[in-house]
Structure 1
Amino acid sequence: MAHFLSDLFNSIFTPGPTPSIIIATNASFAGLQLVLLVLLFLTYSVHFAVLSFLCAGLWWAINWFVTELETANQKEKEANQIREARKVRDVTPVEDSGTETEGGGNQSKELPPAPRSEGLLRPNDLQAALRKRRSLGEASSGDLSTDSEWDKVEEMGDMDR
């Protein structure tokens, strides 16, 4: 028990969810649920039922958050392993067979490919998007005010007459 308490005290100062913190949190919530259940049976007050429901929701949310953190840490470890494997692969020299390929020769001198961004526009894509916007705006008279639109309506009315 003394070892658990010292481990619990030390885990307060370490980042992330440690096993001793998780055990202490779950034990505290279980004790709180037990106290709320006893008070509910002694007083028959709906307040303790509501407090028990809120306690259960918070208890579930904390455990869910801990599992999400553990999943994120696991994915980060896997990503680091993949990065290390790519570094090792990119650093190892490629033997030149003496024949030219479409790739352009020795791959160890080339820069590693840039990481793909799914949702972000690259500078070339951004320029193309801006050109599209400009070309759409150029189709009109270039003046985006309401007055120019009324002028066009008046011109259309003059043409009908």
Structure 2
Amino acid sequence: MASFMEELWSSIFTPGPTPTLLIATNVTFAALQLVFFGLLLATYSLHFVALSLISAGLWYSINWFAHEVRIAQDAQNAEKEKAEADTADRKKESGDKASSPSPGAGADADSETETESIARGKTGRSATATGSASSARLQPAEQDPRKRVSSGGDSSGYGSTDSEWEKVDDKA
């Protein structure tokens, strides 16, 4: 019992539905259903039937969701294993092709972007060696001198003055 409680405590901090957490959830919902049944027999109140149906729906939905998460995790693991196998196959193939490189392929052809290849074609050098547009600083746009600069507050843009309040006092 102590090891189950330790596993339950650690499963709370583990992402995803763990078997220990699902067992605890199912036991708890089964006990809740027994309590509702006992209260129904003791009071003959239909409220406990409604609560039991709501509890059963929640119980089912939790188990359904855990099942769907498990399916998604299995599919993700299978996809990851397939990607690792493809990567291993590519490394093996690139090792075989290393003895006969294709014409025009540089040492870093796999990591080259389209812009770099265009720049390399024009200048014969890599675009990263000469600098790229992303590293250039953008100049701030010219501001219209007639436009007011915002004060940055939560104001509506309307600034009242004391003279306007004096006009209100004069009318009264």
TM-score by shorter chain over 0.5 = yes
Structure-1 residue corresponding to 2:49: 49
RMSD, matched Cα: 2.6
Structure-2 residue corresponding to 1:74: 74
Structure with the greater alpha carbon radius of gyration: 2
Q: 2:91 and 2:2 mapped to 1: Cα distance?
A: 50
1:32 correspondence with 2:59: no
- Paired AA for residue 53 in structure 1: L
Structure-1 residue corresponding to 2:129: none
Per-residue deviation, 1:27: 0.3
Structure-2 residue corresponding to 1:130: none
- Tell me the number of residue pairs that the alignment of Structure 1 and Structure 2 aligns: 106
Q: 1:21 and 1:80 mapped to 2: Cα distance?
A: 26
Per-residue deviation, 1:95: 5.0
Per-residue deviation, 1:65: 0.5
Per-residue deviation, 1:110: 7.5
- TM-score normalised by L of structure 2: 0.55
Per-residue deviation, 1:89: 1.5
Query: Superposed, which structure 2 residues align to 1:1-40 within 5 Å?
Result: 1-40=1-40
Per-residue deviation, 1:82: 0.8
Q: Show structure 2 runs of 5+ residues with no match.
A: 111-172
Per-residue deviation, 1:39: 0.7
Structure-1 residue corresponding to 2:167: none
Give a deviation string over 1:99-135, Cα, whole Å, max 9, x none: xxxxx9x9xx975xxxxxxxxxxxxxxxxxxxxxxxx
Structure-2 residue corresponding to 1:150: none
Q: 1:86 and 1:110 mapped to 2: Cα distance?
A: 19
Q: Show structure 1 runs of 5+ residues with no match.
A: 99-103, 112-161
Structure-1 residue corresponding to 2:65: 65
Q: 1:78 and 1:59 mapped to 2: Cα distance?
A: 29
Q: 2:44 and 2:4 mapped to 1: Cα distance?
A: 37
Structure-1 residue corresponding to 2:134: none
Query: Superposed, which structure 2 residues align to 1:77-92 within 5 Å?
Result: 77-92=77-92
Per-residue deviation, 1:11: 1.2
SS in 2 for 1:40: helix
- The percentage of counterpart residues that share the same residue type is 43
Per-residue deviation, 1:53: 0.3
Per-residue deviation, 1:18: 1.2
Q: 1:15 and 1:95 mapped to 2: Cα distance?
A: 43
